[in-house]
Structure 1
Amino acid sequence: MEHWTEYTRFFTALFVILDPFAAVPIFLVLTKNYTAGERGRIANIAAITVLLVLVVAALTGEALLNGMGTSLASFRVGGGIVLLLMALSMLQGQTDAVRTSPAEEAEAEDRHSIAVVPLAIPLLAGPGSISNVIIEMHRSSSEYHGLLVILSIALVCLFLWIVLRMATTLGRMLGQIGLNIINRLFGLILAAIAVEIMANGLKQLFPALTG
């Protein structure tokens, strides 16, 4: 089994990728005409949906890669690029087009299912988070590794649920400036994670790089 720091690293990486604080302003806009009870229900559905999507991705990722004929090394490089694009958007304080587009957000204002689309998918459980859980599942073949990865995903989703349930309070306390500061800090952390993932993938694709 991997050292416990591997799972704390994965937890941190996944939390930063999901970046629930970046979802707070969008959550508040999409639910501006909702009651407190309705907002709570949206938060519940969104967190459960993210959990299900990421767990399914973790359990079926290997079969998906094999079916596409894609090596894990190539997937690491591709996933790292996606994460780096997300990180650059976060650092620049821009809407992340990898997660969701403005058109999707505008269309969602007329939907009753905003908890699933676009909030859970693809804003939270998007290409970056899905890539990360698939890569993590392949880091070890030990007996309890998969279980610990899923437990880490569940813990991240619990924190996500807490943030969404407190969205109104957090939005009022932190304000847009505070949320932007957190978003940029997360972007910096995510950039470092993305570079590490790409470096590991490139070393597998080109063993000569290891020296």
Structure 2
Amino acid sequence: MDDLAFLTYSLISIFVIVNPISGVVTFISLTSRMTFEEKNILAKRAVFLACIIALFFAITGKMMLDLFGIDVDSLRIAGGILLFHVALDMMFAKVSRESITENEISESQDRSDIWIFPIALPLLTGPGAITTVIVLMGSTDSMVQRSLVVLSILITFAVCLVIFLFSRRIYKYIGYTGMLVFTRIMGLFLAALAADFVTTGIWNVYTALSSAT
């Protein structure tokens, strides 16, 4: 895979699992009592923290896998199954139980640190997003491609910041129905990504076992 194709693949993979458009509804509900200034400050903090978390796991993920003796293809298979579960929730327009539950959203309404939980973690960087960046980093074979994964993370969260800063306007023009349509489309792409993770992981494990014997 050449660098441009890898950048496109990485960017789509990370953007689809972060899926900031579908997070707009939750973000608006959590910040409905805030002024525009307070909402924007919270959005900047949350997106910045989420980006730092994603970059942290992208950089240290390989070391963590080595520490626990886990092969990247094993994580790819497990992550694919997790992403498929998230994709099903998205296609049925449900709040993904992988990220946050309805009860957690309700309980967060009156807290002052909602930019940390549940917005930055796990709404933007849940287990699915963390798994995706680790797998992408583990799939690289050059420093250039590792840099492209980092660039994909930065672009994704830059777009996410813009979407959250203009969340109320976006919701006004797109509406709840538009959000549902977009979420279902993203769910379809995520399901395809999950299938790719699982099939690639299984094939790589099979190839490794065949070579060993």
Shorter-chain-normalised TM-score: which range?
over 0.9
Is 1:17 aligned to residue 2 of structure 2?
Answer: no
In 2: Cα distance, 1:143 partner to 1:120 partner: 28
Is 1:113 aligned to residue 117 of structure 2?
Answer: no
Partner of 1:90: 90
DSSP 3-state at the match of 1:144: helix
In 1: Cα distance, 2:23 partner to 2:198 partner: 26
Trace 1:1-211 onto structure 2 (pairs within 5 A): 2-207=2-207
CA contact (8 A) 1:203 1:209 kept: no
CA contact (8 A) 2:50 2:124 kept: yes
Q: What is the identity, as a one-letter code, of the residue corresponding to 1:79? A: G
105-114 vs 121-130, which moves further: 105-114
Q: 1:2: how far off?
A: 4.0
How high is the TM-score relative to the length of structure 2?
0.94
In 1: Cα distance, 2:114 partner to 2:158 partner: 19
Deviations 1:152-177, CA, capped at 9 Å, x for gaps: 11011000001000100011111110
In 1: Cα distance, 2:177 partner to 2:45 partner: 28
Deviations 1:141-197, CA, capped at 9 Å, x for gaps: 312222221111101100000100010001111111000000000000010010001
How high is the TM-score relative to the length of structure 1?
0.95
Q: What is the identity, as a one-letter code, of the residue corresponding to 1:200? A: T
Q: What is the identity, as a one-letter code, of the residue corresponding to 2:107? A: E
In 1: Cα distance, 2:162 partner to 2:208 partner: 46
In 1: Cα distance, 2:32 partner to 2:61 partner: 37
Unmatched 5+ stretches in structure 1: none
66-75 vs 157-166, which moves further: 66-75
Unmatched 5+ stretches in structure 2: none
Q: What is the identity, as a one-letter code, of the residue corresponding to 2:112? A: H
Q: 1:208: how far off?
A: 8.9
DSSP 3-state at the match of 1:151: helix
Q: 1:103: how far off?
A: 2.1
DSSP 3-state at the match of 2:143: coil
Moved over 2 A (4+): 207-210
In 2: Cα distance, 1:86 partner to 1:117 partner: 19
In 2: Cα distance, 1:152 partner to 1:73 partner: 21
In 2: Cα distance, 1:64 partner to 1:209 partner: 23
Q: 1:37: how far off?
A: 0.2
198-207 vs 185-194, which moves further: 198-207
Q: What is the identity, as a one-letter code, of the residue corresponding to 2:148? A: L
39-48 vs 135-144, which moves further: 135-144
